[in-house]
Each structure stands twice: as structure tokens, then as C-alpha cells.
Chain A
Amino acid sequence: AQRVTQPEKLLSVFKGAPVELKCNYSYSGSPELFWYVQYSRQRLQLLLRHISRESIKGFTADLNKGETSFHLKKPFAQEEDSAMYYCALRTGNQFYFGTGTSLTVIP
């Protein structure tokens, strides 16, 4: 069963424009959600998690249980945001990842 859906494989925005990377999940319990990012030639790393309710590198993500979504947003995209982004759901000891969205920020 697909637990995490990222509908956009590719997303391009201009520098300074707002960006939203979509993530929907399927889980009946209380989810723990994460966004991971992989910059070019770097390892996959945590960007943010919903329980921290933090903003990292200008990105925020709000858990919407009604819509079962955890979209990642940034008001003004920067070139250095170009990367692959993965949404992940943790249930127990298992982590389920979406298929990823490749973000390109056009100068």
C-alpha cells in the first residue's frame, strides 16, 4: 500500500518565487512525518520533522491531518534549494519514503 505520495517528480521555479512540494500520506494512527533532502553529490539528510514545528533554511511544513498532507513550503526559493526532496512517514520502527521530487530553482 502506498503510504507516502509525492505527486510531482519534477518541479521548477524561478529564484525568489514561492515553492511548495506536495506530500500526502496514508496512515490511520498518529503519524510522524519528515522531509529529507539530497543535494547534488551529498548524502540524504534530514531537513525537518513535523514534531519540531521548526523552520529550516526557510522551509516549513505543516501537518494537516484532515487532508493527510505534509506539504513543504518556502516563500522565496533560492538557487541552493535545488535538490531532491523526499517525504517520509515513520510508523513504529519503519520509515516509508515517497518517490521524491526533484526541485530546480532557475536563476
Chain B
Amino acid sequence: GAGVSQSPSNKVTEKGKDVELRCDPISGHTALYWYRQSLGQGLEFLIYFQGNSAPDKSGLPSDRFSAERTGGSVSTLTIQRTQQEDSAVYLCATRRGVGNTGELFFGEGSRLTVL
């Protein structure tokens, strides 16, 4: 497809379970970001991938959160031992790459509900 694709669109899980959220970037976009969108909190940066460089993990809220990007394309955000406060919409965004003033293109998000 032409846009950033995220799956699942909705995920309901029980506290303590692990979840994986997937992001398929726009073809050719080397930069990939994960954000968390919560009511009243805006967009909270989680992690950033650029090509083959080491990711910027400075926004990950705890060691329960991790992310991978395989082959510079698809990315997976994993949340282990989920807590109720992890409930939010997780957004993936991509852009063409370093040095360009290009915009971020967002996916539709994965809404996570932890019961």
C-alpha cells in the first residue's frame, strides 16, 4: 500500500501478558518512529530507527518496552508484562531520511487496551 500500515488496529489484553505491535513503513522511508498517544498527553516519543544506525531508545518508558526493525523495513514494538497504564494508541511514523525536511507520515495506530 501507499501508506504506513500498522497491525493490529485494536488489541485487548490482560494485565501481565506480552503484546507485539507491527509497523510496515512506506517503501523507501529509512526513518521510523514509534509514538504513544494518550488522552491529555499528546504524542510521547518512544523510539527512532534510522537505516542501519543504532536506534534512539531514549523515549522508552521502561525495560518492558522494546522494538526491533528488521532489514530496515518492518518494525515491531513489544511490550512485556503489560500494565493498565500501557493502554494507549501506539503510532508509527516514517519519513524519507536524514537531512531531509520531509514530513512524518503516520499509520492509523494500534489501540491497546490492558484490562
Contacts and interface: CB of A to CB of B under 8 A. Distances in A.
A93 B106 contact: no
Most chain A beta carbons < 10 A, residue from B33, B106, B108:
B106
A99 B48 contact: no
A45 to B, nearest CB: 7
10 contacts: A32-B101, A43-B107, A45-B106, A49-B103, A86-B42, A86-B43, A90-B101, A93-B31, A95-B104, A99-B42
Given A93-B98, A94-B48, A95-B33, A46 B104 contact: yes
Interface of B: 3-4, 31, 33, 35, 40-43, 45, 48, 50, 56, 91, 93, 98, 101, 103-104, 106-109
Contacts of B41: 99
B42 A98 contact: yes
Given A44-B106, A49-B103, A93 B50 contact: yes
Contacts of B45: 94-97
Interface string A25-51: 000000010101000001111100101
Contact of B103 (A6, A46, A97, A99): A46
Contact of B42 (A42, A51, A90, A100): A100
A45 B107 CA distance: 9
B40 A51 contact: no
A51 B33 CA distance: 22
A33 to B, nearest CB: 11
Contacts of B98: 93
B42 A34 contact: no
